[in-house]
Amino acid sequence: MQVTISKTSLDVFKSLGQSFSDAYHLVAIPAAEQEVIPPYLIRNCSGMTISIKVGDTFTGKPGAQIQIGADGSVVLEASQSVELFNRVDEAKKQPLTGMDGLFNSVVDDQNRRLLLTVEDCAESRELRLTRAEQRAFVVQQRTSPGEPWQLVTQIETFFGCKTITLRSNVQVRNCLPLPIEIYYKLSDDASARCGHVEPGATCSLPCDAAYMPPSEIFFRPSKGSYVESNVGCKWRNLSAEENGCQMFECKRTKQELPSVYISAKVEVENIFFESTNEATAKSYKIILNPTVVFKNFLPMPVLCSLEGSDEKIEVTAGEKMQMISIRPGITSISIKLNYQSKWWVAQHLVDAKPETLSVWNFEAEENGQKMSMDLGLHADSSGGFLQLSLYSPYWMINKTQRNLSYKASDDYIVKHDATFNEAMFFLFRKSSSSSSKKVSLRLEESDWSDKFSLDTVGSIGTVTCKVKGSDAQLVGVKIALASTGLTKIVTFLPFYNIINQASFTVRYKEHAPNAEWFEVEPGECVPFWPSHGDSSKQLVASIKGTELETKPFDVSDSNITMLQLNHDYGGINVEVQAVEGAITVIFQQYVAGYATVLLVNDTLNYSFNYCQKELKDQMQLLGPKQSVLYTWQDPVMKRELLWMCGEKKDNKDELVKDGFGDFFADSNSKLFWVSFLDGMQRVLLLTDDIAVVVRGQGAGELERVDMELNLCLQGFGLSLVNNLQCREIAYLGITSSGIIWELMRRKRYKALKTKISRALEEGFHNYSLEVIANKAMPGRRALEEKVEVDFSAKPLMMFKPDKGHIRRSFEYGIWLQHRTSAHQTQIHLKIHRLQLDNQSTSAVFTTVLAPTPPPKSVAADSVPKPFAELSVMIRKSSHSNVKQFKYCKLLVQEMAVKVDQGFIGSMMVLFAPLEDDDMERLVAFKQDCELIGKTLKDDAIQLSTSDLKNFYDMLHFSPLKIHLSFSMYGADEAQIGEKKTQFQFSVLSLFLQSIGVVLTDIQDIVFKLGYFERNYSFYSQSQLTAEITRHYTQQALKQMYVLVLGLDVLGNPFGVIRGLATGIEDLFYEPYQGAIQGPEEFAEGLALGVRSLLGNVVGGAAGAVSRITGTLGKTLATLTLDDEYQKKRREALNRPPADLREGLARGGKGLVMGVVDGLTGIVTRPVEGAKQEGVGGFFKGLGKGIIGVVTRPVGGVVDFASSSFDGIRRVADMSDEVHRLRPARFIQADGILRPYVFREAEGNQILKDADRGIYAADHYLGHIYVSIDEPNIFLGTDKRIIFLSKGELLGQWNSEWSYTWNQLSEPPSITPKGIQVLLKEKQKKWFGSSSIGKTVSMLERDKKYAEAFIGRIRAAMTASMPLKS
């Protein structure tokens, strides 16, 4: 099964979900009730008169001002538009209005086309209405001495209507809060108005304004008495500058009023040219922004005012304000905020080029005394304007109901009163380094705690505050990252929390002399601060208004206890939840079915004695045919029930698991006992009727299965495609196993060890060849690994090393078995092999996620295992909703995760919405602010839900062992300039920047996350999910320290240490496995262990040296200042050598090319720079060439060493290399997604790699294989034909010859000898001979494909011919 998901389909699913939601909530589409939605709307924004011939397939709107003429044409003047409808029989079809218009009849747009004629120059162009796109058509009209004009056709689809806009190649988008008038210069002293654009809108410049030299436009706010901007916007020059933007001043006629400042930035988009599929034309968009945008990232409103102005503008929490009257470097801004019941004011100059992170000082006055406070300011100018964000690095939230103090240094202490319910702002002073950003905590008058970091986002822990003359107090700490990435939210909580979910007031105290009683009202949550040492681990409870109190109960660990009270309420149920950072005690009212156990004596003549094991002096009696609800007599003592009946003495039961048995009450009477779960309550029953035992146990194992569902998929593939960029991002594949052999054991086939399966497969293959050749050979034979088998038997039979029937089989990629009976459900899931590939051409790691192959020595002596396996058995009762998970186990194999920044960016772009949604950011910030107002109960109750709980007899999730690698490289050119993900990227980068961490490459660090196991426990679904998530995430966070040992600059010495440790482990567990089979196998296992030890030591050391030299090589490559050289170097290093020979060959090639490129760069770099950037580019290229003379040869030497050591490491490595499952999808030039074709994907990959990527800009058409072993191929693109051969040593593809279309006398043709290529000029051969062409042989199997291939080449040659006027 193969599934493809594109970015468009994701947006469609999102729109469908929104549409269904709107329909459910009866949200109407914003259209008039009787408004007719036209299928087509043509708008003329070009500033020219254009005649459009629509033919007989369209009709106009009845009664419209502009109608279609009798000849099927319509003339549109500048700024006019016309609505077109499909020509249908109006008598039979009523016009569709309102929502019905969305479901208009589907028409075939393939044959829908328009003929555009520009009246001024009488030029015509044909426009196809196939899909939403932009195309540029040359209009033979010039504005001397300007360039030829271009008419852009922009087709958009919205609500079933295709809008065709005819415009110039220049647009203006207004991101200002006021409308703008646009002017262009006619002469030195005259200008003309050419457009008007409202806030948030986009307008197109008329062609005469866009092409009138010197291509300069002016702006003026349309509201207020403003004059035109002081200078013009030369958008052509602005677009050529990298991140170039320009500021314009629009003065008021009254000099005393402030001016408006506009920041303009030009974005360039490549669009299709004429009727081709090449995006070589350019469309320009001038974006008008305010010079400064102020964002308030504080949880309170602030007041802003400018220097010399009394107007104060309020900016609420999370909102932004556009400041159009600020000139950076000259204008000052004043900020005022109300914090801690005081008004704080700061006034600062808005710097033109501020630091990314800076500090603004605020001052306040109280009782005549001045006070100061520092807040952070983040500056970002990447969007073409200056964005200032006011924030506090830390929000300290006090939920302890005690006074706290924070100390960063001896002279910097901040007090946080218990009565202050808002967030306390905290900022480390500049003197604090990133390593010393730690604080100490003081609770009331306690001593200062040990220092702890405030930057460990996502962690939960406790801080110990020692109190003189008393016991230490624990304070829970939770650290979260705000959605902005700038603020860390630090919440301080009491370690002990008491929640009352009963309908009565509960009193509680510590189990200690003279302990004070506390009360908690129904529905309340209160903190508990123990004061009696170790006794704080035990509490006593009581109901208010009574003198009765419970036995002491333990609160140091998670448990559920029913506390006995001789009261009308029956007792109090106590649930203790111990999680990292907090212990929550929940009092609940007793309800029927919540007792610890129901004891039932179903016998006729025998009494039943019982008590808690350590309280034998409190033995109780249960007579025949009686029952009693029982709970622990002393909850603190060991929870084990001791019961006796007749001759059955000292029976112990912990009352946590099911069971049954029999015993003799006396010499003549046999009795039975059974323990089972009944809802939330356990039942222990004694009876003399075996049928009662069977019914009580549920007898799920004895029931007949009434339904069995088996789902088997040999493989599954999920392709993620960004169709807007016409490239495949990732491919997720689940694949089946190879051939395995299985042995019948206890009526089930079980897989044999890999080495035995390999011997059986080889023997079976030889036997099959003998049968095909009619050789009379015996079927019974001895094979390697001491295997004896009979292949002629039916079924196949193995005699040694084990005897039994065998079969040849394989494991499905996905195998699911679901079986149900009356009281039982069984689920068994296997995912054999899962792999996620990065399909980017510039990927640093081609495989993102894959199982880590075990060493071959281990794999040979083991049974093949799936990547993930889940086994679940659930028992359900007909009279209870509580499910009992008798067995639930998940096993996940060791895996490698390798990601680069480019892959992360591509995935963000894929899943990001098409439109940047500021509302989502605002909602996220509001949710951050809600953390401040959360009550103590909201924080403590998150796991204390009253959801339905299930009982887990045995729940086990295996440990996770993850090899993590990360690279800062891998970004595609298509991702450059993507604004969709800037916000997500900035959150991470700002967080790292704020804590002073620079992210660098990480290579093969290991995370070992311990297993998760729970036995005989009740959990709701939300509780269990939260515990599992917390279990693994907290371990992962604690293991982040290994990143220090895995940094790229250190050469990853951790890998060497891990290699030695792995060898030692192999030495211990492989001999143990071998010893089970005999002394000979033990010796062999010892040899395998030694091989593994040597392999890990040699491989680890060589790998470390390779990474160190690789780091030096990367540094030298950066010094060349040549982006193309660095990119090609990374691509070469991304393909690691398969062995030592290939490593030496690649390194030698890199060494030679480094010297050659360094010497030739002195000439080529200045020439290339001059072509791109003129005189300035020439001198830039000259500098790069001079630097390259030194750095490239030296870099070649270092890369030679790195590649050689990498080859040595791979020789020593005993694991298989992981490769991509398939080449990246090939998407044709039209951008339409089609089913995946392996041949096209393979050919396109070869084209991109051939001759170091010099043909990468060509569009692949097809290829054929010249010989059976496929070392040579004949490949065609949209520009040329190429004959490629594969290198024997390095496996790279090199071109032997290639010809462009203008070198061919005619298109290639198929002859009996192969494909004939005829040239216009003779090609000289050796010894003076010459030839007018080439003949390429082809395989018989490719003849049918070759005909279609040659047809595509012929069409490409025809399309490339120049248009005849």
CB count, 10 Å around CB of 745? Answer: 11
In this predicted model, what pLDDT tens digit does every residue of 1140-1164 receive, in sequence order? Answer: 555 555 556 565 556 566 656 666 6
Question: CA separation (Å) from 829 to 530, 853, 867, 1339?
Answer: 48, 21, 11, 45
Question: CA separation (Å) from 1322 to 1318, 1332, 1353?
Answer: 9, 4, 22
Cα–Cα distance measured from residue 974 to residue 840, given in angstroms and rounded to the nearest whole number: 11
CB 423 within 8 A of CB 411: no
β-strand partners of 586: 499, 575
Which pLDDT band, with edges at 50, 70 and 90, does 1122 fall under?
low
Q: Which residue has the higher pLDDT, 105 or 912?
A: 912
Range among 3-17, 322-336, 449-463, 695-709 rated most confident: 322-336
| Tokens 């001593």, residue located | 447
In this predicted model, what pLDDT tens digit does every residue of 398-440 receive, in sequence order? Answer: 999 999 999 988 888 999 999 998 999 998 876 544 446 789 9
Reported pTM: 0.78
Cα–Cα distance measured from residue 84 to residue 39, given in angstroms and rounded to the nearest whole number: 7
Amino acid identity of residue 672, one-letter, is F
Residue 1054, CB-side half-sphere exposure with 13 Å CA sphere: 20
Question: Which residues fall within 8 angstroms of residue 287, CB to CB, at 6 or more apart?
Answer: 173, 175, 264, 265, 266, 267, 384
pLDDT at 178: 92
Which pLDDT band, with edges at 50, 70 and 90, does 631 fall under?
very high
CB 239 within 8 A of CB 284: yes
CB count, 10 Å around CB of 77? Answer: 12
C-alpha dihedral, 563 to 565 to 568 to 570, nearest 10°: 30
Q: Which of 160-164, 187-191, 470-474, 810-814 has the lowest mean pLDDT?
A: 187-191
| Tokens 């019905």, residue located | 100
pLDDT at 1176: 59
Q: Are strands 868-876 and 895-900 parallel, antiparallel or unpaired?
A: unpaired
| Tokens 């809600």, residue located | 930
Residue 716, pLDDT > 70, answer yes
Q: Which residue has the higher pLDDT, 26 or 549?
A: 549
Give the single-character DSSP code of 861: T
Polymer length in residues for the chain: 1365
Cα–Cα distance measured from residue 1143 to residue 1202, given in angstroms and rounded to the nearest whole number: 9
- Across 876-903, average pLDDT: 85
For residue 91, what are its two tokens? 């008598």
Question: Which residues fall within 8 angstroms of residue 789, CB to CB, at 6 or more apart?
Answer: 760, 763, 780, 781, 783, 796, 797, 798, 799, 806
Amino acid identity of residue 95, one-letter, is P
Q: What crossing angle do the helices spanning 901-911 and 982-994 adopt, rounded to 10°? A: 140
Cα–Cα distance measured from residue 1139 to residue 843, given in angstroms and rounded to the nearest whole number: 21
Q: Which of 379-383, 685-689, 1082-1086 has the lowest mean pLDDT?
A: 1082-1086
Residue 1271, pLDDT > 90, answer no
In this predicted model, what pLDDT tens digit does every residue of 1313-1348 receive, in sequence order? Answer: 888 888 888 766 554 556 678 888 888 888 888 888
Which pLDDT band, with edges at 50, 70 and 90, does 634 fall under?
very high
Q: Which of 975-989, 1113-1127, 1338-1352 has the lowest mean pLDDT?
A: 975-989
Amino acid identity of residue 574, one-letter, is V
In this predicted model, what pLDDT tens digit does every residue of 1044-1073 receive, in sequence order? Answer: 433 332 233 333 333 333 333 332 223 223
The angle at the Cα of 491, spanning 488 to 494, to the nearest 5 degrees, equals 160
Q: Which SS3 state, helix, strand or coil, does residue 363 take?
A: strand
Question: Which residues fall within 8 angstroms of residue 1220, CB to CB, at 6 or more apart?
Answer: 731, 837, 839, 846, 847
Residue 68, CB-side half-sphere exposure with 13 Å CA sphere: 22
pLDDT at 1061: 37
Residue 1111, pLDDT > 90, answer no
Cα–Cα distance measured from residue 1035 to residue 1088, given in angstroms and rounded to the nearest whole number: 33
Cα first-last separation, the chain: 51
Nearest Cα to Cα of residue 1286 among 1251, 1321, 1253: 1251
Which pLDDT band, with edges at 50, 70 and 90, does 1183 fall under?
low
- Across 706-723, average pLDDT: 91
Which pLDDT band, with edges at 50, 70 and 90, does 1363 fall under?
very low
pLDDT at 1094: 40
pLDDT at 1151: 56
Cα–Cα distance measured from residue 1133 to residue 1212, given in angstroms and rounded to the nearest whole number: 19
Q: Are strands 1314-1324 and 681-687 parallel, antiparallel or unpaired?
A: unpaired
Determine what percent of the chain is predicted with pLDDT higher than 90.
Answer: 25
Backbone region of residue 533 per phi and psi (left: phi > 0; alpha: psi in -120 to 50; beta: other values)? left
β-strand partners of 898: 965
Question: CA separation (Å) from 298 to 355, 985, 1000, 1283?
Answer: 20, 21, 31, 64
Residue 1114, pLDDT > 60, answer no
Which pLDDT band, with edges at 50, 70 and 90, does 286 fall under?
very high
DSSP-derived secondary structure for 74-87: EEE-TT-EEEEEE-
pLDDT at 1102: 52
pLDDT at 388: 93
Which pLDDT band, with edges at 50, 70 and 90, does 1252 fall under?
confident
Residue 1287, pLDDT > 90, answer no
Residue 1006, pLDDT > 50, answer yes
CB 676 within 8 A of CB 670: no
pLDDT at 1205: 55
Average pLDDT, the chain: 79
Question: CA separation (Å) from 778 to 771, 788, 789, 793, 796?
Answer: 10, 12, 11, 11, 13
- Across 479-490, average pLDDT: 89
Residue 1076, pLDDT > 90, answer no
CB 404 within 8 A of CB 445: no
Q: Which of 755-769, 993-1007, 1115-1129 has the lowest mean pLDDT?
A: 1115-1129
Give the single-character DSSP code of 1050: G
Range among 168-172, 933-937, 1214-1218 rated most confident: 168-172
Q: Which residue has the higher pLDDT, 679 or 338?
A: 338
- Across 925-943, average pLDDT: 82
In this predicted model, what pLDDT tens digit does every residue of 89-138 receive, in sequence order? Answer: 444 444 444 434 433 434 444 456 778 777 767 778 788 887 788 889 88
Q: Are strands 473-481 and 190-197 parallel, antiparallel or unpaired?
A: unpaired
pLDDT at 16: 82
pLDDT at 1153: 59
Burial class (CB in 10 A: 0-12, 13-18, 19+), 679: middle
pLDDT at 161: 82
Secondary structure E strands in 654-791: 659-664, 670-678, 681-687, 707-713, 716-722, 727-735, 740-745, 748-751, 780-783, 787-790
Q: Are strands 394-398 and 488-494 parallel, antiparallel or unpaired?
A: parallel
In this predicted model, what pLDDT tens digit does every residue of 542-559 receive, in sequence order? Answer: 999 888 899 999 988 888
Question: Which residues fall within 8 angstroms of residue 980, CB to CB, at 6 or more apart?
Answer: 908, 909, 912, 913, 914, 916
Cα–Cα distance measured from residue 290 to residue 388, given in angstroms and rounded to the nearest whole number: 12
DSSP-derived secondary structure for 544-580: TT-S-BPPPEE-SS-EEEEEE-SSTT-EEEEEEEEET
Q: Which residue has the higher pLDDT, 682 or 1359?
A: 682
Residue 1139, pLDDT > 70, answer no
In this predicted model, what pLDDT tens digit does every residue of 837-861 receive, in sequence order? Answer: 999 888 888 899 999 877 777 777 7
Nearest Cα to Cα of residue 917 among 990, 980, 867: 980
